[in-house]
Amino acid sequence: MNLTPDPDLLARAAARRDVNFGRRITYSPKVFIPLTKLCQDRCGYCTFAEPPARVEAPYLSAADVLGIARAGARAGCHEALFTLGERPELRYPAARNWLDENGYESTIHYLKAMAELVLSETGLLPHANAGALDADELALLRPVSPSQGMMIESLNPDLECHRGSPDKTPERRLATLEAAGELAIPFTTGILVGIGESRQDRIEALEAIAASHERHGHVQEVIVQNFLPKPGTRMRDHDACPKDDHLDAIALARLILPVDVHVQAPPNLVDTIDDLIAAGIDDLGGISPITADHVNPERPWPHLDGLAVAVERLGYTLAPRLTAHPEFVLDPDRWFDPALHFAVMDRSDAEGMGRDDPGAFFPERTMEKSDVTDGAEVVLVGHKSTAWYSGADQPPPVLLRGPASDRVGAIGGTVAEVLAAAREGEELDEDGIVTLFSARGPEVAAVAQFADELRRETNGDVVTYVKNRNINYTNVCTFKCQFCGFSKGPLSLNLRGAPYLLTLDDIAERVVEAEQAGATEVCLQGGIHPDFDGEYYIDVIDAVHRAAPSIHIHGFTALEVTEGARRLGEPLEEYLARLRDAGLRSLPGTAAEILDDDVRAILCPDKITTDEWLEAHRLAHRVGLTSNVTIMFGAVEQPVHWARHLLRTLELQKETGGFTEFVTLPFVHMASPIYLRKRSRRGPTFRETLLMHAVARIVYHGHIDNIQASWPKIGLAGVTQLLHAGVNDLGGTLMDENISRAAGASHGTELTPADFEAAIAPLGRRLVERTTRYDLRQPQLSG
Ligand code: SF4
């Protein structure tokens, strides 16, 4: 049947997509592993299946499988798509014999072994596309394959193309779909359009898929694939699926399926993706940078850069996802075998999408270090990932290129709406902030551009820094922050990083050295030693103040002062006043991590609560101390938690005005205990890092004037991009910064003003030294 798709139908489908999935078009960067081309079925359209005489071996060997997967991991793929014929051992003795000789009960058992191998050696997430399976077979694959798939194709039992294909009966296909739902397997299915079925057949197939999803919630995506005749097949002389039928079927899928089901069409089977997007798709399926589409070998994958441009031209953005869609990734207990929780989290970003920093991506293997002088107790071994991470020495991807005005094309959708509202002076709410954090592609440049404008309006072209010295007076701590690679229990062995406690004389000596080196600030932070009572902190301030009366003492987190007051049984406000009188001038905003108690329950369960952190800063401001806001992000939380963090601190700033700056602390995962225990992500992506600074600039505008980037975690190459995204401050020169290095960061422990100058000179900005409270000191020479 050759239908003209009803423009109204297409428009309704596209609108439904826009409402539910916004302007984001997703794809899965993958490699294609054709485990066996033998198949017991003989579908009339198939070029994938081959008889034994036409293949070199019945199955790919483990070495071949690993070779493909490793190439995929090196190219930055996230998915290993295992595609294979259905139960070839039931038809071909060659397949049965190969399985017997190699010790596998069935093709599915071999698939399980290969998926396990790929997962452990490369970290690529397997997607098993093994056809119509029984429940026990689906269950066998569940611990090694975060998602599985099987095309319904059509539920018309009389199609000529399915003659001789025992697995293509509607009953078997529907039973597989249903069993996958009962087993809570994120499932991919779809229909094949143009194989002799009617429009009504398509509707009935889509309705059956919708009904199964309504029962189990497991259908993550429905592929609407157009039939193309291929030489050498029974259907070689049939007409290709008319474009109009294909678009009509896409629109029907979007309108019939529940709103949360993604609708996908492969981009390599059409001449242009414009029509697919106009008909309502939100996903382009798996796209491989290195392997062919083995099911449609005559149709190569489009190049990703070109695809991104084509998508952006239509006002959408292209974003990589994992083999399981984010709705499933963010609910791992329900959808994944526990064996897969970390493997999925390791490749995901805060939205549950695939990490989008380019470069090789392998599982990290660590060994204990014998030399722990910098505090990091482990060293990375094995295949090296080259993607950017906070703390790693790889340069970040270039997200902002050239002057802002050249970067930003027209964007639409909710990001544009939120930016427009912010430009009108509207305060952003939680949803608006989450929307800005979802920016991709040109949206990122648009958010950064607005932040850059606000930065210029607030700070001009001045880039500030402070000459300071960090003094981490002890690394002994009774708290059990899950991310902290710095603290040591008092009984730690030397081999695992020596516990230390500086004497007051040691501290005073370092302060004098710092002042002689030109520092205007000392920053005092440390673990919570079991022997400290609150008087210890007063004694430290006293010692520092006596050693260098004019140096600014920036010291003690909300945790340290809260704990100090608690151990003395003294009201916190009185205690803060005594610290002030001893010489304390400001509090660092650390110990904030993420100001959301659900996240704190995971990251730092025994630490002060969100309210206690805010109260400590409220009281500090009340007694005349200033402080700053920090956020440690990228470990376990989601953008909604970032939004809450920004809004809570903004509220306090409106009340007290005591925060001088916002400091980002991107989570450094490499030697962090929570990552080594496989319970966190690998820190933020660079896009997330850039957006954190830009969105904070927008949210805090008019309230907190300074946005600081942390060079020990981001590196100067990254920081220079952030200077175009709302950042105006580089923080301290930081003699002896140990905390980032203890978590595995490889950037140095000290930078000089000349280092800063060299980094910002090409940007045409002016470097000026500041005090802790942002009074500007002598301008430095500028390029
Ligand atoms: S982050 Fe601070 S309080 Fe937590 S364990 Fe480390 S040193 Fe102790």
pLDDT, tens digit (0-9, with 9 covering 90-100), for 522-550:
999 999 999 888 999 999 999 999 999 99
| Predicted local distance difference test score (pLDDT) of residue 432 | 98
What does the pLDDT look like over 93-151, one tens digit per residue? Answer: 999 999 999 999 999 999 999 999 999 999 999 999 999 999 999 999 999 999 999 99
Instruction: Ligand 1 pocket test: pick from 473, 476, 481 the residue with the most ligand atoms within 8 Å of its Cβ.
Output: 481
For 24, 314, 415, the CA distances from 439, given in Å and listed in that order, are: 9, 16, 7
Question: 300: pLDDT confidence band, cut at 50, 70 and 90?
Answer: confident
Find the 682 Cα to ligand 1 centroid distance in Å.
20
Q: For residue 334, is pLDDT > 70?
A: yes
Beta carbons of 323 and 420 less than 8 angstroms apart: no
DSSP character at residue 771 = -
| Predicted local distance difference test score (pLDDT) of residue 283 | 98
487 lines ligand 1 (CB under 6 A): yes
| Predicted local distance difference test score (pLDDT) of residue 377 | 59
In this prediction, residues 426-439 reach a mean pLDDT of: 98
481 lines ligand 1 (CB under 6 A): yes
Which range (22-31, 120-129, 294-303, 444-453) has the least confidence?
294-303
Q: Tell which atom from ligand 1 comes closest to the C-alpha of 527.
A: 7
479 lines ligand 1 (CB under 6 A): yes
Question: Where would I find the beta strands (DSSP E) of 321-407?
Answer: 365-368, 378-381
Q: Whose CA is nearest to atom 2 of ligand 1?
A: 527
Q: For residue 1, is pLDDT > 70?
A: no
Find the 496 Cα to ligand 1 centroid distance in Å.
16
Find the 547 Cα to ligand 1 centroid distance in Å.
27
Instruction: Ligand 1 pocket test: pick from 474, 475, 528 the residue with the most ligand atoms within 8 Å of its Cβ.
Output: 528
In this prediction, residues 6-27 reach a mean pLDDT of: 96
Find the 559 Cα to ligand 1 centroid distance in Å.
9
Type and span of the H or E element at 206: helix 199-216
742 lines ligand 1 (CB under 6 A): no
483 lines ligand 1 (CB under 6 A): no
Question: 376: pLDDT confidence band, cut at 50, 70 and 90?
Answer: low
Q: Determine how many CB atoms are found less than 10 A away from the CB of residue 161.
A: 23
Find the 295 Cα to ligand 1 centroid distance in Å.
53
**Of 333-337, 475-479, 482-486, 717-721, which one has max mean pLDDT?**
333-337
Q: For residue 638, is pLDDT > 90?
A: yes
| Predicted local distance difference test score (pLDDT) of residue 409 | 57
| Predicted local distance difference test score (pLDDT) of residue 500 | 87
Instruction: Ligand 1 pocket test: pick from 475, 486, 608, 740 the residue with the most ligand atoms within 8 Å of its Cβ.
Output: 486
Q: For residue 782, is pLDDT > 50?
A: no
Find the 280 Cα to ligand 1 centroid distance in Å.
49
Find the 525 Cα to ligand 1 centroid distance in Å.
10
What does the pLDDT look like over 619-630, one tens digit per residue? Answer: 999 999 999 999
Q: What is the mean pLDDT of the chain?
A: 91
Whole-number Å distance between alpha carbons of 31 and 288:
5
Question: 407: pLDDT confidence band, cut at 50, 70 and 90?
Answer: very low
Q: For residue 648, is pLDDT > 80?
A: yes
486 lines ligand 1 (CB under 6 A): yes
Find the 654 Cα to ligand 1 centroid distance in Å.
29
Q: For residue 20, is pLDDT > 70?
A: yes
Q: Which of 717, 693, 716 has the alpha carbon at shortest distance from 706?
A: 693
Percentage of residues in the chain with pLDDT exceeding 70? 92
| Predicted local distance difference test score (pLDDT) of residue 637 | 98
Beta carbons of 20 and 260 less than 8 angstroms apart: yes
DSSP, collapsed to helix, strand or coil, labels residue 254 as: helix
Question: 706: pLDDT confidence band, cut at 50, 70 and 90?
Answer: very high
| Predicted local distance difference test score (pLDDT) of residue 41 | 82
477 lines ligand 1 (CB under 6 A): yes
Which range (403-417, 606-620, 678-692) has the least confidence?
403-417
Find the 478 Cα to ligand 1 centroid distance in Å.
8
Question: 783: pLDDT confidence band, cut at 50, 70 and 90?
Answer: very low
Find the 477 Cα to ligand 1 centroid distance in Å.
6
Find the 739 Cα to ligand 1 centroid distance in Å.
10
774 lines ligand 1 (CB under 6 A): no
| Predicted local distance difference test score (pLDDT) of residue 380 | 64
Question: 781: pLDDT confidence band, cut at 50, 70 and 90?
Answer: very low
Find the 484 Cα to ligand 1 centroid distance in Å.
6
Find the 712 Cα to ligand 1 centroid distance in Å.
18
The upper half-sphere exposure of residue 266, i.e. CA atoms within 13 Å in the direction of its Cβ, equals: 19
Q: Which residue has the tokens 């050498």?
A: 232
Instruction: Answer with the residue of higher pLDDT: 743 or 234.
Output: 234
What does the pLDDT look like over 160-195, one tens digit per residue? Answer: 888 878 878 999 999 999 999 999 999 999 999 999
| Predicted local distance difference test score (pLDDT) of residue 686 | 98
Beta carbons of 141 and 127 less than 8 angstroms apart: no
Question: 491: pLDDT confidence band, cut at 50, 70 and 90?
Answer: very low
| Predicted local distance difference test score (pLDDT) of residue 550 | 96
Q: Whose CA is nearest to atom 7 of ligand 1?
A: 527
Q: Tell which atom from ligand 1 comes closest to the C-alpha of 477.
A: 8
| CA 93 to chain CA mean position, Å | 46
In this prediction, residues 265-278 reach a mean pLDDT of: 93
Beta carbons of 665 and 327 less than 8 angstroms apart: no
Whole-number Å distance between alpha carbons of 349 and 369:
29
DSSP, collapsed to helix, strand or coil, labels residue 766 as: strand
Whole-number Å distance between alpha carbons of 768 and 552:
18
Q: Which residue has the tokens 């399915």?
A: 162
Q: Tell which atom from ligand 1 comes closest to the C-alpha of 483.
A: 1
Phi, psi of 220 (to 5 degrees): -85, -30
Kind of pairing between the strands at 776-779 and 766-770: antiparallel
Q: For residue 83, is pLDDT > 90?
A: yes
Whole-number Å distance between alpha carbons of 54 and 101:
20
Find the 60 Cα to ligand 1 centroid distance in Å.
50
Q: For residue 406, is pLDDT > 90?
A: no
| Predicted local distance difference test score (pLDDT) of residue 266 | 93
Q: Tell which atom from ligand 1 comes closest to the C-alpha of 559.
A: 3
Q: For residue 373, is pLDDT > 60?
A: no
Question: 498: pLDDT confidence band, cut at 50, 70 and 90?
Answer: confident
Beta carbons of 522 and 554 less than 8 angstroms apart: yes
Q: For residue 326, is pLDDT > 90?
A: yes
Find the 693 Cα to ligand 1 centroid distance in Å.
24
Which range (272-281, 284-293, 492-501, 662-671) has the least confidence?
492-501
Find the 479 Cα to ligand 1 centroid distance in Å.
6
527 lines ligand 1 (CB under 6 A): yes
Q: Which residue has the tokens 């910064």?
A: 737
| Predicted local distance difference test score (pLDDT) of residue 289 | 81
Question: 234: pLDDT confidence band, cut at 50, 70 and 90?
Answer: confident
In this prediction, residues 288-297 reach a mean pLDDT of: 74
528 lines ligand 1 (CB under 6 A): yes
The upper half-sphere exposure of residue 590, i.e. CA atoms within 13 Å in the direction of its Cβ, equals: 19
Q: Tell which atom from ligand 1 comes closest to the C-alpha of 475.
A: 7
Question: 402: pLDDT confidence band, cut at 50, 70 and 90?
Answer: low
| CA 337 to chain CA mean position, Å | 21
DSSP, collapsed to helix, strand or coil, labels residue 474 as: strand
What does the pLDDT look like over 601-621, one tens digit per residue? Answer: 999 999 999 999 999 999 999
630 lines ligand 1 (CB under 6 A): no
| Predicted local distance difference test score (pLDDT) of residue 742 | 61
| Predicted local distance difference test score (pLDDT) of residue 171 | 94
Q: Whose CA is nearest to atom 4 of ligand 1?
A: 481
Whole-number Å distance between alpha carbons of 181 and 657:
53
Find the 304 Cα to ligand 1 centroid distance in Å.
43
| Predicted local distance difference test score (pLDDT) of residue 493 | 34
559 lines ligand 1 (CB under 6 A): yes
Instruction: Ligand 1 pocket test: pick from 476, 482, 487 the residue with the most ligand atoms within 8 Å of its Cβ.
Output: 487
Q: Tell which atom from ligand 1 comes closest to the C-alpha of 484.
A: 6
What does the pLDDT look like over 729-767, one tens digit per residue? Answer: 999 886 665 555 566 666 556 788 898 899 898 899 999
DSSP, collapsed to helix, strand or coil, labels residue 443 as: helix
